Structure 1
């Protein structure tokens, strides 16, 4: 079953998944936008596949995965063949993500929460960002994801 951990500390004030996906040149980048940033244990990408009961099949092999031995605060991680600082590359990206395939990126929090985002690489053109279940311009993403002083 696909479940999202909702966070209410940032803009917007309603619950949302704090995971954003964007392309930085030819590389895909995953950003965690919650305020303050949360520690994570793992970041994983799988192709979107539904079971016969229409729920997400989370047993699909990952195409990329990094893990952290200790919960680590991250704000961004580049999907590729290198581990982020403090992380272990469990599954290196074997080649470019298929532009037409939908993928799910999951983060795993120490409390078991798994916020996620569904994205299609071909939709990340012209600086667009997948955030809050839609594709936004970089400017709109920056506005919506900005942390506001309390």
Structure 2
């Protein structure tokens, strides 16, 4: 049985394939989440027996998070796959994540705040971990948007 990790809040979309919590393969694709996920998962479902899918549900692009959630939740219901969620900060060394305009999301004491980027800030790319630490994943899979209503 295989576990899948989906990071769709930045480009390229990154998908890790894990066996016994160890990364065995990865996929990176440029494009919109709504176009890319169905193509990738058609291939993955034909190749692997998937036990769980974990996706990044906060913070980041609202549209990417919404589309990923609806697609993955539907897939998991239909195929009887467990869905989990995780924070994007787990996969970019806890560095700022692009929010809106010139603002960024920051993780301060496990609370997401929105502020301008300081000159000395370092922004790390998202990376698939070599091994999964499932203790940091949540079964609460609804998207968390972190921005106030307009």
Q: Same fold (TM over 0.5)?
A: no
TM-score by length of 2: 0.27
In terms of fraction of residues, the more helix-rich structure is 2
The higher relative CO (CA closer than 8 Å, separation ≥ 6) is in 1
